[in-house]
Amino acid sequence: MHPPTVLTATEASRNFAAVLERAKLGECFTVVKNRKPLARIMPPEEPKPNGAAIRAFLESWEPDEVGFTDDIVSVIESMRGPQEGDQERMAWLDD
């Protein structure tokens, strides 16, 4: 886990919606006032790997022309090597 991002109270106030969104994604913040810690903003619980969230992202994502698709396929294959049925499961990448 990364150390918390430090924000002044003014920065936190001006960017509150963005700070909350980043906290929802797992980032932690320390809010300071007069250089002293005032509050912490963090996700309600430690983020856990979630295959369903990854699948939802991949299914909603539009393949690109700059190689991201190839990078995703490469990472999947390097983690465990190609498995029987992968071609059918990843056929949507070729569309």
Structural domain of residue 14, as residue ranges? 5-41
Please tell me the predicted confidence (pLDDT) of residue 93.
Answer: 58
Q: What is the pLDDT of residues 40-83, one digit of tens each?
A: 999 887 656 677 777 777 777 776 667 777 777 777 777 765 56
Q: For residue 18, tell me if it sits in a domain.
A: yes
Q: What is the pLDDT of residues 58-67, one digit of tens each?
A: 777 776 667 7
Q: Give the pTM.
A: 0.46
Q: For residue 20, tell me if it sits in a domain.
A: yes
* pLDDT above 60 for 94: no
34 shares its domain with 62: no
Q: For residue 91, tell me if it sits in a domain.
A: no
Q: How many domains does the chain have?
A: 2
11 shares its domain with 31: yes
Q: Which helix (H) or strand (E) holds 11?
A: helix 9-14
* Token output for 92: 């949507």
The closest of 37, 36, 76, 29 to 54, measured between CA atoms, is: 76
DSSP string, 15-59: THHHHHHHHHTT--EEEEETTEEEEEE--SS-----HHHHHHHHH
75 φ/ψ sector (left φ>0, alpha ψ -120 to 50, else beta): alpha
Please tell me the predicted confidence (pLDDT) of residue 36.
Answer: 94
